[in-house]
Amino acid sequence: MPRFKLTIEYAGTRYSGWQIQKNAKTIAGEIDRAVREVTGRKDFELYGSGRTDAGVHALGQIAHLDVSTTLQPHVLRRNINDELPADINILDATIVPHRFHARHDAVSRRYVYQVSERRTAFLKPYVWWVKDPLDLSVMRETAKHFVGKHDFRSFAVAERDAENSSSLVLLERLDIVEDGALRLFVIEGSHFLWRMVRRLVGVLVAVGSGEVSSPDAVAWLREQSPVPATLTAPASGLFLERVFYKGDDRDVPPAHVGHTR
């Protein structure tokens, strides 16, 4: 039985996240249905590199698929796409060794969060429109304190992180990039806790608007606080941009959706 590595893009607006759930439309559920239609098989495994939450998007989600089929990868990709809704698309399918695991072999994940400082007629499902002017300099200075290995328990949902025995996370990158009216938060790390990225963005936006002081935000790394939960950024602006594996080029510039002047 071959193992396929799938690279997937999707708009998560209409879905209850990646993971298959009863009585809910999910990304993996739609791909599962499409694979059944294309291959006629029920005994296969689809395993993603990680779970994206309801409403979160992906530019480069990775999954491995074990399915008995004689279809060549490019034909399998095309046929699955023909069965998928328009907001889910398999970008690439390749045969990989069975030792490859989409989740366990990932060495880093990169997210991009899009904040717009102006109202937009076209990008509402893909940005968080922040009406208050943001001080990028203080946001960037604060962001530097989050890079490194820290206890991010204040930025996570503890009861939803049973798979992670520790709230210690190595955050490798947290950049804030300007692109027209967009403020792109580029966040890269070994792994992420539930809601961690959205709470980091929410806290930094609160710092930029003057709602929260920089010292207070940094202090939440040392002492647990319920405040970051109240500042969680909406799912609409978050993209799983890329998943990195051993040997991948980590210097590839981050992609994003849309450009606003």
pLDDT exceeds cutoff 90 at 229: yes
Asked if residues 128 and 236 have their Cβ atoms less than 8 Å apart, the reply is: yes
Question: Is residue 201 left, alpha or beta, with left meaning phi > 0 and alpha meaning psi from -120 to 50?
Answer: alpha
Average of per-residue pLDDT values in the chain? 94
Say what the pTM is. 0.94
pLDDT exceeds cutoff 70 at 59: yes
pLDDT band at residue 163, thresholds of 50, 70 and 90?
A: low
d(CA 168, CA 148): 10
pLDDT exceeds cutoff 80 at 164: no
pLDDT in tens, 63-75: 999 999 999 999 9
pLDDT in tens, 90-120: 999 999 999 999 999 999 999 999 999 999 9
pLDDT in tens, 124-147: 999 999 999 999 999 999 999 999
Q: What percent of the chain has pLDDT over 90?
A: 91
Active-site residue flag, 32: no
Mean pLDDT (whole number) for 204-216 = 97
Note the pLDDT of residue 186: 98
Q: Name residue 160's amino acid.
A: R
pLDDT band at residue 166, thresholds of 50, 70 and 90?
A: confident
Q: Is 110 exposed, middle or buried (0-12, 13-18, 19+ CB in 10 A)?
A: buried
Beta strands 168-179; 106-116: pairing state: unpaired
Asked if residues 19 and 31 have their Cβ atoms less than 8 Å apart, the reply is: no
Note the pLDDT of residue 117: 95
Read off the tokens for 183. Answer: 């403020």
> φ and ψ at 34, to 5 degrees?
-65, -40
Read off the tokens for 245. Answer: 């594996």
pLDDT band at residue 159, thresholds of 50, 70 and 90?
A: low
E strand or H helix at 214? helix 214-219
Q: What percent of the chain has pLDDT over 70?
A: 96
Query: CB within 8 A of 238, min separation 6: which ones?
Result: 52, 53, 56, 57, 111, 112, 113, 197, 198, 201
Domains with residue ranges and CATH for the chain: 3-96 (3.30.70.580), 107-245 (3.30.70.660)
Which position among 43, 53, 82, 249 bears the catalytic label? 53
Mean pLDDT (whole number) for 165-178 = 92
DSSP H helices in 47-195: 73-83, 136-144
